[in-house]
Amino acid sequence: MGSARPCCCRRCNRWCTGTSRGAAQRRAYALVGASAAIAAAVGPLLGGFITTYLSWRVGFALEVVIIAVVLINIKLVHDAPYTGDRHVDPVGAVFSVIGMGGIVLSILVWQEGGEAVAALLVFGAAGLAALAWWLVRRKRQGKAALIDPGLFASKVFRLGISSQMLQQIALGGTMIALPIYLQMVLEYNAMLSGLSIAPLSLSMFGVALLAGKRAGRRRPSAIIRFGFALLSLGMLILIPIVPRADSGWWLLIPLLIAGSGLGMLVSQLNNYTLAPISEERVSEAAGVNSAAGSFGLSFGLAFAGAIMLATLSLAFTNMAESSAVLSPAEQSASRRRFGMTPSS
């Protein structure tokens, strides 16, 4: 999808997806980033409240309501006319599913203590390699391909989608690891966990709005570099604090720093990635950019969750084995419960 811009006719009061350049494009992409920040800010708080005081089933019911609202208002979005080739590439689609799905699935299997982790990882990597080979082959034959490999000829585009993926890995990893820690170690409920990570999401939201409006003539690349620097700084401060924290207040400062970095990134990455793409190819490029972000989010959630659960399992098992209170039978049951052996 191309960047959103107001329709030429103001009387219709609709938004259409076409192409816009310059300040209008920057504002549109900043709005897209800010909307993602709003979701990140509201999600943990709303989800924590619903889970704690109502029921997790209510959360799924609200998803249906949101989808219904989107579908009702779908006519407000007007797509730019498409005159290109409408053939599909089913083989490329299968390779993409095998590649990205295999890598994420290997992490989930590892998290559950499965034995086919290496095979799945190799299977996923082979799928991605096959996808690259297939796309280049289809391009040379002049046939429809899932993704035009010519998009990756742009260095800016390659850096942009890589940054998008890394940013989503960091966001997904943080949003899954911290709630696991808060609920399993500090014994917080869902509401308290949401409040504890609120500094990350709220600072992300505020900085995304501010950076989108006041970026001015500053280059998006400079803002992105500063955003990654703040994100890295926040994570480096957070890592040594987490094992020693006895309440969510200890996380406040590092989460504010990391959230500010994420806010800068979400406000600028879309514009940085898609700005150099020609108008007739911007929709395809936006799809690739979105797919990279979705893959990064899935990978971050799976990988960080697996690392956190493995670490906690090892810690709990060691505590059980060193306990002078638990009997040998109870210690053995603890090892089986967390999938650990004495040698591990």
Q: Three-state DSSP class for 5?
A: strand
Q: Give me the numbers of helices (H) and strands (E) for the chain, helices first please.
A: 11, 3
pLDDT digits (tens, 9 = 90+) for 161-219: 999 899 888 888 888 888 888 888 888 887 888 888 888 888 888 888 787 676 656 78
Selection from 157, 170, 162, 167 nearest residue 267 by Cα: 167
Tokens of 90: 């089913």
pLDDT band at 337 (very low <50, low <70, confident <90, very high): low
Do 226 and 311 reside in the same domain of the chain?
A: yes
Report the pLDDT averaged over residues 325-332.
Answer: 63
Higher pLDDT, 13 or 244: 244
pTM of the model: 0.72
Selection from 332, 279, 234, 260 nearest residue 21 by Cα: 279
Q: Print the domain residue range for 241.
A: 4-87+167-337
Higher pLDDT, 110 or 335: 110
Residue 152 lies in a domain: no
Do 129 and 266 reside in the same domain of the chain?
A: no
pLDDT digits (tens, 9 = 90+) for 111-135: 666 677 888 889 999 999 999 999 9
Residue 69 lies in a domain: yes
Assess whether pLDDT exceeds 90 at residue 234. yes
Do 213 and 94 reside in the same domain of the chain?
A: no
Mean pLDDT estimate for the chain: 78
Assess whether pLDDT exceeds 50 at residue 11. no
Residue 216 lies in a domain: yes
Residue 53 lies in a domain: yes
Q: What are phi and psi of 15, to 5 degrees?
A: -110, 140
**Among 48-62, 127-141, 147-161, which is the least confidently predicted range?**
48-62
